[in-house]
């Protein structure tokens, strides 16, 4: 039994939920999210909220039960308050700026690194702080990870791009005789 899947998911007052043949849509003040689910889990809208139950008692359906519940909770939360990831750019000469639909970064390479900003994601750059926000939790996390992969923080001086709450383990340099 899934502890997460058993819980009833409340629907906030500003949101509207629709279910149609495996497709689940949530409409809120910030936008609309839709997702297709496999028919192994029954999703029902009740006056208390959304109830999920597996149709069969298989290992796979038990795994999907809690996962689908988390996806639906994230969708409902995202259309009310957008998700946000903050990245800190550390290093001499490291900088970023938004140009049109791209983010252009100087990361110590011989060339600027340009990354296209996907639809539904907003990027704000303030000095060395890059804020990625949007209503889809997966899309925000994936784009922030793609940006971080361009220059991961190194352990000796801490240069690179890291998440705001990430702690970089520092190493001691070479010892001189």
- Are 119 and 67 within 8 A, CB to CB? no
Res 73 pLDDT > 90: yes
Q: Which domains does the chain have, with CATH numbers?
A: 3-80 (3.90.930.12), 83-163 (3.90.930.12)
Give the pLDDT of residue 5: 87
Q: How far is CA 126 from CA 57, 83, 88, 132, 135, in A?
A: 51, 18, 10, 12, 21
- Tell me the per-residue pLDDT of 4-19, one tens digit each, with 9 for 90 and over: 888 999 999 989 999 9
């Amino acid at each position: 039994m899934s502890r997460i899947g058993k819980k009833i998911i409340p629907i906030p007052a500003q949101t509207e939920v629709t279910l149609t043949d495996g497709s689940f849509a949530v409409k809120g003040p910030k936008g609309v999210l839709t997702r297709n689910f496999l028919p192994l889990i029954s999703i029902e809208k009740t006056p208390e909220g959304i109830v999920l139950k597996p149709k069969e008692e298989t290992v796979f359906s038990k795994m999907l039960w809690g996962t689908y519940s988390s996806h639906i909770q994230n969708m409902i939360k995202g259309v009310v308050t957008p998700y946000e990831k903050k990245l800190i750019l550390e290093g001499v000469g490291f900088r970023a700026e938004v140009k049109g639909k791209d983010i252009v970064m100087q990361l110590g390479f011989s060339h600027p690194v340009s990354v296209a900003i996907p639809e539904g994601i907003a990027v704000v750059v303030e000095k060395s702080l890059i804020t990625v926000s949007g209503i889809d939790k997966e899309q925000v996390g994936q784009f922030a990870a793609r940006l971080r992969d361009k220059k991961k923080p190194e352990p000796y001086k801490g240069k690179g791009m890291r998440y705001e709450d990430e702690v970089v383990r520092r190493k001691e340099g070479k010892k001189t005789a």
